[in-house]
Structure 1
Amino acid sequence: MSTTTETASKATPQESTEANPEANPTGAPVATLAAKNERRRSLFTSSYPVIMLIALAILLGVTYLSLITGRYPVELDELFRILGKNWFGMDLKVYKPAENMLLTVRIPRLLAAGLIGAALAIAGATFQAVFRNPLVSPYLLGVSQGASVGAASAILLGVGTSIAIQGSALAGGLAAVLLTVSIPRLLKNQSTLMLVLSGVIVGGFGTAALGALKFIANPETQLAQIVFWQMGSLQDVRAEALTQFALVAVPCILLLLAMRWRINILSLGDNEARTLGINLTRTRGITILLATLVTATSVCIGGPISWVGLVIPHLCRLLVGSDTTKLMPLSVLMGASFMMFVDTLARSLTSAEVPLSVLTGFIGTPLYVALLLFGKVRVK
């Protein structure tokens, strides 16, 4: 099955030009024609700085909304007093319970949600560019299933503290990806297709292993904890876990942004990348490693949150096209805003916390359908 995306994929203009030489009467390079066609397809490519400013304004607005909204609302003047006292050393009188809630719960959780959203969005954009498939998600290589098995194992072993679960989830996710990468090497076939198939194999095995762990789990205690973790939540995130997460996620995000020009060349295809002097094996390996690492750390903190790494890159691609030099920075801002908004809903809608994947599914599914209809994605 092949996928053609008029608004997203660079494969379509390349394939049509290669298959029909008359479509390129000027003799211009395929990459140049693809770029021109992509600029025509995107809605606001010429207004990229304006789009970035709007995305930044949305991020700041969602940040403010998240800080004051919740089961315990915080007034604007109280928020400023708390931030002024703790961040700028000002001698201000504050309401102590509100101060404790903001500093120990709400702000760490807000930052974690923003980082997770940015990480999953840029990982999704990276995988979609590297594999030249707009239907690829950050969980392609089995990191979600591996992390779920690791977290479930920690719960069954009775070390159900948040730090232990996060560490086990990270180890399980990285082990799954390592196994996925090792299979093509063992078979001496390191093509992109074989890597994708290896991810499917490892993901299927991880799903089966997780089902076995659920079967033997205590249905009154352990099973509920496993299921809730799988649906995603940030209720246990505190400053220590956030710091550890940021030490891995932020450098990976920055490195991916620094490599976005090379990733853009990879998305043109292997032949074009070789012609432009790109070391395919090294560049593809580094980008996959960084995207996988940032995805694994995100999963270990918040669980396997669905749709973010698939929907956000599509939305950004509709706005600025498939040029990753523009797509990836916008994905970071939009992904952070989306996850911060979803987490605010999760802790505000009801007295009990709503799992994140429930909300991302309800929001992401219709949004993705709308993007497919608007972008005219066809599956042949």
Structure 2
Amino acid sequence: MKQSNRNTIIVLSLGIFLIIAIVVSFQIGRYNIPIKDLLGVFMSKIYPLHQFWPDKMETVLLNIRLPRIILACLVGCCLSAAGAAYQGVFQNPMAAPDILGASAGAAFGAALAILHYGSSIMITFSAFGFSLLTVVLVYFISKKAGGKSILGLILSGIMVSSLFSAGTSFIKLVADPNDQLPAITYWLMGSLAGAKNSDIKFVIIPMVIGLIPLILLRWRMNVITMGDEEARTMGVNSNRVRLIVIVCASLITAASVSVSGTIGWVGLVIPHLARKLVGNNYKHLMPATMLFGAIFLLIVDNVSRNLFTTEIPLGILTAFIGAPFFIYLITRKGELC
């Protein structure tokens, strides 16, 4: 079987597995929902059916589990896609969605909103706005720095991230230890608890705007991974493509972090796992990474809300999974090259 056909089958299989994972996710939880009732609730939104399920079940399904499952898939998809995109344009296997400070900026914005007793939508909006502001600052600082653009971006990202992290630490220092500080700390650990349909409406547009170009630019991303000289000989403007990819990846990262909090390792680990399945060609790598990321975060979120009576923040679980995996990678010769 040709490698291309094999990769296509793998991508389709990941899509089928994601659908299965979504159906299972709807059923499991503190309130068990049988498959018959699950199908009945959703079919009733299309065709008029006699209601044979309790009202409480429909409320749990549509107002609690549906937005949480959708957000888990969207956030996992976007963080993974951003990680794969950054690793390609920066030609760095250690690149992650927070490499340009998007997560640090979002954390500062959320903490600032919590300090001023902002509502949940204000916290989300503030996190999103400061996340984008951070990336813009990084870009303009790197342009002023001169030298190699990639190295300048990475170094500027490290410096600006440190600045916003210090700001977040100061906010935690002056926050009310009985009310605001626990809220800030919990947000920083990442969670999808309390996900609402309004969160989906807030992030779906920037996520779609960011994901579509990343999918359409897959061939050009393959070219710029070979280096700027090679890209120039093939008629590809590497600087323009790199800027578009960075803008789109930063947009979906900001949208994701604004509703989920800080969730590490997803954008770093999942692209490497996808490469093991379909190789380095972005034609298959990008869709495989997006599907794999959605599956991964959905499963992790299911574990988070069902393992114990108290939910485990997603950032803790992804670190427990991601860190050992990367230890395995760096101890194997050539795995990160």
TM-score normalised by the chain length of structure 1: 0.85
The partner residue of 1:279 within 225, 234, 237 is 237
The within-5 A match list for 1:64-213 is 64-159=23-118, 161-189=119-147, 191-213=149-171
Deviates more, 1:119-128 or 1:342-351: 342-351
Find the counterpart in structure 1 of residue 261 from structure 2.
Answer: 303
**Per-residue CA distance 1:202-236 (angstroms, 9 max, x = gap):** 01111111111111111111111001000111112
Cα distance in structure 2, aligned partners of 1:162 and 1:364? 29
Q: 1:323 to 1:73 in 2, by over 3 A?
A: same
* Correspondence 1:210-225 to 2 at 5 A: 210-225=168-183
Q: Is the 8 A contact 2:105 2:134 kept in 1?
A: yes
Structure 1 residues 358, 92: CA separation in 2 closer, same or farther (over 3 Å shift)? same
Counterpart residue number, 1:242: 200
Alpha carbons 2:329, 2:336 under 8 Å: kept = no
Q: Report the residue type matching 2:253 in the other structure.
A: T
Please list the CA deviations of residues 36-88 of structure 1 after superposition, one character each: whole Å capped at 9, or x if unmatched: xxxxxxxx666112211221122112111110011111111111111111244
CA RMSD of aligned residues (A): 1.7
Q: 2:198 is matched by which residue type in structure 1? A: E
What is the Cα deviation at residue 164 of structure 1? Answer: 0.7
The answer for the alignment partner of 1:324 in structure 2 is 282
Distance in 2 separating the partners of 1:69 and 1:351:
14
Within the candidate set 215, 218, 227, 2:185 is matched to 227
- CA–CA separation in structure 1 for the residues paired with 2:328 and 2:154: 27
Deviations, residues 120-155 of structure 1 (Å, cap 9, x unaligned): 011000000000011110100001111100000001
Could you say if the C-alpha distance between residues 87 and 360 of structure 1 is closer, same or farther in structure 2, counting changes exceeding 3 Å? Answer: farther
1:47 partner letter: R
- Cα distance in structure 2, aligned partners of 1:316 and 1:375: 19
**Higher mean C-alpha deviation, range 101-110 or range 55-64:** 55-64
The 1:93–1:258 alpha-carbon spacing in structure 2 relative to 1, beyond 3 Å, is same
Query: Shift in Å at residue 368 of structure 1?
Result: 3.0
Judge conservation of contact 2:37–2:52 (CA < 8 Å) in 1. Answer: no
Query: For 1:140 and 1:283, how far apart are their aligned partners in 2?
Result: 18
Q: Distance in 2 between matches of 1:377 and 1:367?
A: 12
Match of 1:60 among 19, 35, 57: 19
CA distance 1:360–1:87, change in 2 (3 Å): farther
**8 Å contact 1:305–1:360 — kept in the other structure?**
yes
1:13-52 CA-to-partner distances (Å, cap 9, x unmatched) read: xxxxxxxxxxxxxxxxxxxxxxxxxxxxxxx666112211
Give the Cα separation in 2 of the matches to 1:202 and 1:353: 32
Further displaced range: 167-176 or 362-371? 362-371
Distance 1:91 1:371, change over 3 A: farther
Alpha carbons 1:248, 1:297 under 8 Å: kept: yes
Question: Is the partner of 2:44 in helix, strand or coil?
Answer: helix
Deviates more, 1:293-302 or 1:93-102: 93-102
Equivalent residue for 2:312, pick from 354, 357, 374: 354
Residue 104 of structure 1 contacts residue 239 of structure 1 at CA under 8 Å; is this kept in 2? yes
Pick from 319, 325, 333 the counterpart of residue 367 of structure 1. Answer: 325
Deviation (angstroms), 1:102 = 0.6
Point out where structure 2 has 5 or more consecutive residues left out of the alignment. Answer: none
SS in 2 for 1:377: coil
**Partner AA of 1:153 in structure 2:** L
Contact 1:184 1:190 in 2 (8 A): no
Q: CA deviation at 1:321?
A: 1.2
How many residue pairs are counted as aligned between the two chains?
336
Q: Which one has a bigger Cα radius of gyration? A: 1
Q: Identify the residue that residue 19 of structure 1 maps to in structure 2.
A: none
**How far, CA to CA, are the matches of 1:112 and 1:163 in structure 2?**
15
Q: Which runs of 5+ in 1 are unaligned?
A: 1-43
Q: Which deviations, in whole Å up to 9, do the C-alpha atoms of 1:84-125 show, x marking residues without a partner?
A: 112444333221111001101101110011000000011000
Contact 1:84–1:92 (Cα < 8 Å) also in 2: no
Provide the secondary structure at the position in 2 that maps to 1:129.
helix
Residue 6 of structure 1 corresponds to none
1:115 partner letter:
L
Task: Report the 3-state secondary structure (helix = DSSP H, G, I; strand = E; otherwise coil) of the residue aligned with 1:283.
Answer: helix
SS in 2 for 1:86: coil
List per-residue Cα deviations over 1:141-182 (Å, max 9, x = no partner): 0011111000000011121x2101000101111111111001
